[in-house]
Amino acid sequence: MRTLTKETCQILKFNQKNALLFEVLYRLLTGPLYLFLLNKGLKWSLKMAGYSYLTAGNIGYFFLKPGTIVMILVIGIIGILFLALETGCLLTLFQGAAYFRKLSVGEIFLGGLSKLSDEIKKKNWRLGLLILADYGISNLYLIYRVLTHVKPLNFVMSELMKQNAGRLAVCAAVVLVILVVVPGLYTFYTCMIEQKSFRDGYRRSRRLIKGHLANTVFLLGGYYAGLIVLLHVIYIFCILVAAVGMSLFTDNRLALAILPAVGDRIELVLIFLASMALALGNFAALSVQYYQYSNRLSREPRWDFSYPSRKSFRGRILGAGVAVAAALSLLFLFNLVRNGSAITDDILTEIQITAHRGSSKSAPENTMAAMELAVENLADFVEIDVQETADGVVVLGHDSTLKRVAGVNRTIGSYTLEDLQDLDVGKWFSEEFEGERIPTLAEIMEFCKGRVKMNIEIKNLGKDSPLPDKVVELISDFQMKEQCVITSTRLSYLSRVKELDPDIRTGYIISAAYGDYYSDDDVDFISIRSSFVSGKLVEAAHEKGKAIHAWTVNNKSEMERMKMLGVDNIITDYPVLAREIVYRERATETLFEYLRLVLK
């Protein structure tokens, strides 16, 4: 055991720079690409299923839809190919280390690509399933932690684990997979290095591990447990640093609201890093065991260790292909950050928070100042109201006249944009905001892009108003389809939006809960007064694949009720308070109480 541990450390150190560089590059290249494909697949399968959102109410039906099954198969096959390629690359890395060769990142990749190509030619498809099962078991805890952030799977998982039968079924499934995976731990080597068929490779793996099962499981289990403990220690340290920083530079209430969200992001980053460390550690340990155990069984000559030269034409072609893939992956990552992803944002956020007309209790509503504060308060959305000027420019404004915010009893539509800019819409709120002007929708979109999503309410200006068309055109011009939703009290406006661009999400604003309005194909979510939200309404909407946005939720008890009912979005004048209510696990009134809760 001591020898195995020592040699595992040695093989990890031998080419550690290139090993780390390869693993980081590989995950950064394939991760964004896979997320992009997953996002497209989810959008397509939701559309095929006739749903706008994936909820706890419709997830069972969703997974039974033919389109969903096709999507899962395609995305699953792509995922297996990515994992198999990584497995081949890591085997190449440690195969080189076993023969005292420090392979470059390019050689590691080419070796893995060659191994994957060989397995495809041999039709060793069962090896892909074994690789998937192995990654699932070795990353079991990390996968569990990721699923706690993914709705509605987190709800389903929570309900499942509450039942004795559910816990028993999960444990039985895990044990069954372990019984299949552990005897075949060296099948990757016997198939990819010794070029055996899956059946012969699995049999040889069983012979190799015979008599060494306890040592193998203990070594891998100890490494896994140690890494998980280290993960928790680093997580706690990061949370403490974040808490101290926030307590020094922000007020206690804001820190308490932000810290849980920051903690979630920290955990996801650490899980990403831990998964790379697990892959390197597991294959390093398995490589040492494989070469030690196989040498004891046989005195056959060592296998040929040769890969295409980096200077060859084939190598240059592959290098160019990798460069193109890297560029595309970076483009996908930039697109994800800059333009957003409606699907992934929805499933990774428990309840989204919308700042009503911006942070309208801290700055004048529907102004740039209110949007800036909403971003500072980490709102997920800003809700704004739009109207049209006399010269056809889309601007922000809620009331039918400007009397309340500018002191003049005239409509926005009676002004040209140039004349409208002369009005002060900040002084009524406080002297601090004197000189604040009415912004155009284009100005607000330019500011919000990549910072915060937008809920654009189109005010009812009559059935023939060109306003819906102009809003859709602006969303297209700014490429913010994934970052914007359009709402209105006029259903015909939403129908026009869907005709112009079916991919833009639309919300129907209603004041009372009467009728089967959530069955309309032109409506993706319902925006409803919070006092009318009930458990039955949320359940009915979710079964139809529609989301519920509750407005305007400004007191603590109502926020707690909305959280308990499981609404998808809380529209509020107090985004900081709402985030504090949504994220905390139980009532914690101070930052230090929250830290004690985290550290338990």
Q: Which residues are catalytic?
A: 356, 398
Q: Which residues of 301-331 are buried (b: 16+ CB within 10 A; e: fewer)?
A: eeeeeebbeeeeeebeebeeebeeeeeebee
Distances (CA, A) of 489 to 15, 209, 461, 509, 538: 63, 68, 11, 5, 20
Other CB atoms within a 10 A radius of the CB of residue 69 amount to: 12
* Separation between Cα atoms, residue 359 and residue 379, nearest integer Å: 9
User: What distance lies between CA 515 and its chain's CA centroid?
Assistant: 34
> Could you tell me if 364 and 433 are in contact, meaning their C-beta atoms sit under 8 angstroms apart?
yes
* Separation between Cα atoms, residue 260 and residue 585, nearest integer Å: 9
* Separation between Cα atoms, residue 423 and residue 408, nearest integer Å: 9
Longest dimension (CA), the chain: 96
Contacts of range 228-237, beta carbons closer than 8 Å, 24 or more positions apart: 228/141, 228/274, 231/270, 231/271, 231/274, 234/270, 235/266, 235/267, 235/270, 236/598, 236/599
Question: What would you report as the CA-atom Rg of the chain, rounded to the nearest whole angstrom?
Answer: 28
Place of tokens 């397995």: 119
* Separation between Cα atoms, residue 279 and residue 3, nearest integer Å: 21
Q: Parallel, antiparallel, or unpaired for β 505-510 and 547-551?
A: unpaired
Is it true that the peptide bond before 152 is cis, omega within 30 degrees of 0? yes
Distances (CA, A) of 397 to 53, 121, 171, 228, 413: 29, 64, 56, 52, 10
The first and second tokens of residue 378, run together, are 């980490």
> Could you tell me if 365 and 337 are in contact, meaning their C-beta atoms sit under 8 angstroms apart?
no
Residue 167, CB-side half-sphere exposure with 13 Å CA sphere: 5
